[in-house]
Amino acid sequence: MQHWLILGIAIISEVIATSALKASDGFTRLLPSVIVVVGYGIAFYCLALVLRTLPVGIVYAIWSGVGVALIALVGWLLYGQTLDLPAIVGIGLIVAGVAVLNVFSKTVAH
């Protein structure tokens, strides 16, 4: 179960880093640029730890699916970006896919 917590930390770190990447304005602003580097460093370190116990395809599907949904939420909340209905449906399908992997796949070690 610890691997799920570490994967969660990896995802949150990646979302923070990606959000700061927008704020870094092409790496022209120091603090957001530092957050990008540290955030991605933590994210990839945690991802490497998780890959010791879980299959890479499953981990990457969860990482990217949850990350896409969270980044879309951050974009909406912090940057005022809007999503049209097809975008919302698409993100919903990604989240549904992650849920199917976790609930029904025998590939995922619970």
Does 47 map to a domain? yes
Lowest mean pLDDT among 67-76, 87-96, 100-109: 100-109
Is the pLDDT at 107 greater than 80? The verdict is: no
Q: Which phi and psi angles does 25 have, rounded to 5°?
A: 55, 55
Do the domain assignments include residue 109? no
- Report the number of distinct structural domains present in the chain: 1
Determine, yes or no, domain membership for 55. Answer: yes
Contacts of residue 36, Cβ cutoff 8 Å, sequence gap at least 6: 17, 20, 21, 24, 27
- Establish if 9 belongs to a structural domain: yes
Residue 60: give the domain boundaries: 2-104
Classify residue 110: in a domain, yes or no.
Answer: no
Per the listing, tokens 């499953």 go with 58
For residue 10, give both structure tokens. 């990896």
Q: Is the pLDDT of residue 102 over 80?
A: no
Question: pLDDT digit string (tens) for 24-75?
Answer: 999 999 999 999 999 999 999 999 999 999 888 889 888 988 999 999 999 9
Contact 32, 41 (CB under 8 A): no
